[in-house]
Amino acid sequence: MSAALALARRLPLGALVVVGLFGAAAHAQGPNRLWLGRVELEGPLERVELDCGDAGATAIEAALVAGERRELVVPLPWAPPLGVEGLARHAPPLVRVAPEGGGGRARWLGVVAGEAGSQPDERWARLPVGVRVRPRPPAGAEATGGGASVGALLVVLAAQIAIAGLVRRGRARLAISALVAVGGGAAAFALAARALSHRGAPTVLIDADLPAAGPPTVLRVTAATTELGLPRREASLRVETRPEGARLEFTVDPATDRWTLRGPGEVLVFESAPSDAAGAALAPAWWRDAAGAWSGFAALERERPGELGRRPAAPPLPPGEAVEPPGWLRAGLPPGRTALLGRLAGEEAWLRATGVPAPGGQAPGEPGPERD
């Protein structure tokens, strides 16, 4: 028993904490939650729900009069384990109509199939792997530095040091340390709650990759905890949820042809974007050269708005004045390639572009110097 007790005292519990911590940090990106199906509606109908079980549901706000018939393409929040390959054998959604018994009908016609790329996931799978696995942006205030404020952390640290000093010095000091603990906890809670009250607002990231040869890949990624729209349905490639596998609710308004989605946690929408989506100016901006050296800029203005083909020329800030780019924005950048990061001036959006040539360098797609 004494050997067991000695072993128990020596077990590296700190190591368990570290293992747990990194296990939690390495979160998966999860399955695509955007799949397309067809339904046929026949009025009178006010609302149709396609129940997809634990994955969620799609509500169709269909105001159809008696005898009116429509066929719609609708989004479904499925997470088929085999992706496109298993889609044909996926269990159909449970169709419910309202008002019940009113004579209206809704019929599931099957998933959208036929042409290559008819499902968003097929178009997503064609993107370069390096772009598909990039770290996702967080929703809301985490975009400018996540978690607890420095002030709240300092309050906690000061309280803990005071408690450690007071708690062993008699019962009176023990009561004081209890007050310090409660007061410190309340102050830290209030400071953090106040600083994070605006969290969850949409974060938009223009995520671009410019290969040395071939067309650029430009994505618009939106992360939010609020309701999100899918305004450019044909450009929509992927929807993810955090936590992975969370229930997702789509709403379809056939009158305006508007799709919206909402989840209990964060929802991320990936869309293909035009190559001029990168705005006219970045402020602030950061540049990483191919050797991995970073430079910071107060602002970078392009000659042509949205041009991604080359980094605008500007003198970098002195090292002491430049601020660091947000951790989520610079995380996972491919080594050995240039990177241009920044916040799009005048917009609530960020840019992360890799493979952008330096000023004076050869832009992707440009003819190289002629050789004899």
Partner 1 sequence: VRPAAFAVALALSLAPLALERFGLLELAGAPRVGLALLPWLALAGLPRPASRELDAGAAWLAPLAALPLVALAAAVDRAAPGPAGSGAVWTAAVGLALVALLALAAARGARVFAAAWFALVCAPTALATAFSLSASGGDDALGGGAGPAVVGAWFGAWLGATPLVWAARTIAGGADDRGLGPLAPIGVAALLAAIALVEAAGARRAERAA
Residues 26-55 that bind partner 1 (CB under 8 A): 26-27
- Cβ pair 118, 34 in contact under 8 A: no
Q: How far is the CB of 44 from partner 1 (least distance, A)?
A: 37
Q: What is the spatial distance between Cα 268 and Cα 204, in angstroms, rounded to a whole number?
A: 10
- Cβ pair 209, 130 in contact under 8 A: yes
3-state class percentages of the chain: helix first, strand second, coil last, to nearest 5 = 25, 30, 45
Residue from 62, 188, 273, 356 binding partner 1 (CB under 8 A): 188
Q: Binding to partner 1 by residue 248, rule CB under 8 A?
A: no
Q: Binding to partner 1 by residue 73, rule CB under 8 A?
A: no
> Binders of partner 1 among 117-146, rule CB under 8 A?
135, 138-139, 145-146
Closer CB to partner 1, 63 or 323, in the complex: 323
Q: Binding to partner 1 by residue 178, rule CB under 8 A?
A: yes
Neighbours of 258 (CB within 10 A): 14
Segment contacting partner 1 by CB under 8 A, of 25-33, 67-75, 230-238, 340-348? 25-33
Residue from 50, 74, 76, 163 binding partner 1 (CB under 8 A): 163
Residue from 72, 167, 235, 299 binding partner 1 (CB under 8 A): 167
Q: How far is the CB of 164 from partner 1 (least distance, A)?
A: 6
Residue from 100, 116, 171, 293 binding partner 1 (CB under 8 A): 171
Closer CB to partner 1, 6 or 116, in the complex: 6
Q: Binding to partner 1 by residue 222, rule CB under 8 A?
A: no
The residues, ordered by sequence, that sit 6+ positions from 88 with a Cβ below 8 Å of its Cβ are 111, 113
Q: What is the spatial distance between Cα 333 and Cα 326, in angstroms, rounded to a whole number?
A: 13
Q: Binding to partner 1 by residue 264, rule CB under 8 A?
A: yes
Residue whose tokens read 């978690």? 147
Residue from 126, 128, 189, 305 binding partner 1 (CB under 8 A): 189
Nearest to 246 by CA among 95, 56, 85: 56
Residue from 121, 207, 209, 266 binding partner 1 (CB under 8 A): 266
Q: How far is the CB of 17 from partner 1 (least distance, A)?
A: 5
CA angle 186, 192, 195 (to 5 degrees): 140
Residue from 199, 258, 294, 309 binding partner 1 (CB under 8 A): 199
How far, CA to CA in Å, does 247 sit from each of 53, 60, 143, 244, 267? 9, 17, 24, 9, 10
Work out whether the CA dihedral 158, 159, 160, 162 comes out positive or negative: positive
Q: How far is the CB of 154 from partner 1 (least distance, A)?
A: 10
Q: What is the spatial distance between Cα 137 and Cα 222, in angstroms, rounded to a whole number?
A: 8
> Binders of partner 1 among 323-342, rule CB under 8 A?
324, 326-328, 331
Q: What is the spatial distance between Cα 372 and Cα 364, in angstroms, rounded to a whole number?
A: 22
Q: Could you tell me how far CA 215 lies from the centroid of its own chain? A: 24
Residue from 160, 290, 365, 366 binding partner 1 (CB under 8 A): 160
Q: How far is the CB of 219 from partner 1 (least distance, A)?
A: 19
Q: How many residues bind partner 1 (CB under 8 A)?
A: 74
Residue from 69, 107, 169, 232 binding partner 1 (CB under 8 A): 169
Q: How far is the CB of 183 from partner 1 (least distance, A)?
A: 8
Q: What is the spatial distance between Cα 172 and Cα 254, in angstroms, rounded to a whole number?
A: 70
Give all strands (DSSP E) within 67-202, no chain letters.
69-76, 94-98, 105-111
Q: Binding to partner 1 by residue 62, rule CB under 8 A?
A: no
Q: Binding to partner 1 by residue 284, rule CB under 8 A?
A: no
Residue from 53, 67, 117, 147 binding partner 1 (CB under 8 A): 147
Residue whose tokens read 């938009």? 204
Nearest to 259 by CA among 268, 251, 267: 251
